[in-house]
Amino acid sequence: MSLQNKIISYVLLAISLVLGFFLVNNIKFAIEEEERIAASEEEVKNKLMLIRDAEIAYQSVKGKYTSNWDSLAKFVESDIFYITQKTEQIISLSYGADSVIVHIDTLGTKPVLDSLFKDPIFATYDFSNLKYIPNTENLAFDIFTEKIEKGGVIVDVIEVKDVAPVNPNRKEDSDIRNRKPLRFGSRTDITTSGNWE
């Protein structure tokens, strides 16, 4: 083999090693980035599920959802659920129909915090931080609550969404529901399901 062929072989070998190094690094970076996005989105989903539980409880006690983060945090930390028992009394009327009398008795109360957030990690959890999107510089979730007419009935709707998706593929203008930024609820439908479910 001539000296010129040896030099060309060594240059080609060096180039292929450099290209191989960059290729491996790019693949490794892509895998790590995918894992980072998945972990971050899991934290956002968990926070959205906490907010959803708190909002559903708030609505069951107060009769509506709230778009005020401070009210929601205060509700979780210090409000109560009433424990009730419902009984029905059926009275047969003389003309063959029945009349139903419903009795609702209050048996006691239970703190919202103890009912919804029993896990020991919530014992020191600061619910005033519930509004913040994980892994951001204090960016808050977008929250929308409203009463709308649906089928001739006035109903409550809620939507809470991530305004800063870490996944660059999540776009608001996407036609695919699970490709939009992470959210639960809807501005136009009676639902509290998440778009990841």
Between 55 and 103, the more confident residue is 55
Domain boundary assignment for the chain:
3-185
Measured CA to CA, the distance from residue 24 to residue 46 in angstroms comes to: 33
pLDDT score recorded for residue 51: 93
pTM value surpassing 0.85 = no
pLDDT score recorded for residue 160: 95
Average pLDDT, the chain: 85
Q: Which are the contacts of 105, defined by CB distance < 8 A and separation ≥ 6?
A: 84, 85, 87
The segment with the largest mean pLDDT, out of 1-5, 35-39, 63-67, 81-85, is: 63-67
pLDDT-based confidence at residue 1 (cuts at 50, 70, 90):
low
Which of 12-26, 57-71, 126-140 is predicted least confidently? 12-26
Q: Which are the contacts of 123, defined by CB distance < 8 A and separation ≥ 6?
A: none
In the chain, the percentage of residues whose pLDDT exceeds 70 is 99
Q: Is pLDDT at 167 greater than 80 in this prediction?
A: yes
pLDDT-based confidence at residue 69 (cuts at 50, 70, 90):
very high
pLDDT score recorded for residue 185: 93
Helix (H, G, I), strand (E, B) or coil at 181: coil
Which of 42-51, 73-82, 143-152 is predicted least confidently? 73-82
Distances (CA, A) of 111 to 1, 12, 57, 97, 192: 86, 72, 11, 42, 23
